[in-house]
Amino acid sequence: MSRSLDSARTDWQIREAQERVTQQKALVRRRIVQGTPTQASEDQLRQVEQTLLRMKEQRGHARASEIGPKTAVR
């Protein structure tokens, strides 16, 4: 039961991070259109994207360990 709760929490956190990436991309686009400096916004976008990628990688490793190693079929 604990694993399913952890998995649900991780999925929720990933969805939240994806939403932050979407919002940050929109902010960068708005700033570009407005002609205002975007370097800080772009840096923050890269940071959020990297965080999201790490979360997805960790989730993938966690799920793989739940499944266990595959056995070779001969």
Dump pLDDT digits (tens) for 37-47: 889 999 999 99
**Dihedral (CA of 62, 67, 69, 73) sign:** negative
What is the DSSP-derived secondary structure letter of residue 35? T
Q: Give residue limits of the domains in the chain.
A: 2-67
pTM above 0.75, yes or no: no
pLDDT band at 59 (very low <50, low <70, confident <90, very high): confident
**Dihedral (CA of 24, 28, 29, 31) sign:** positive
Q: Is 73 helix (H, G, I), strand (E, B) or coil?
A: coil
Which H helix or E strand runs over 30?
Answer: helix 2-34
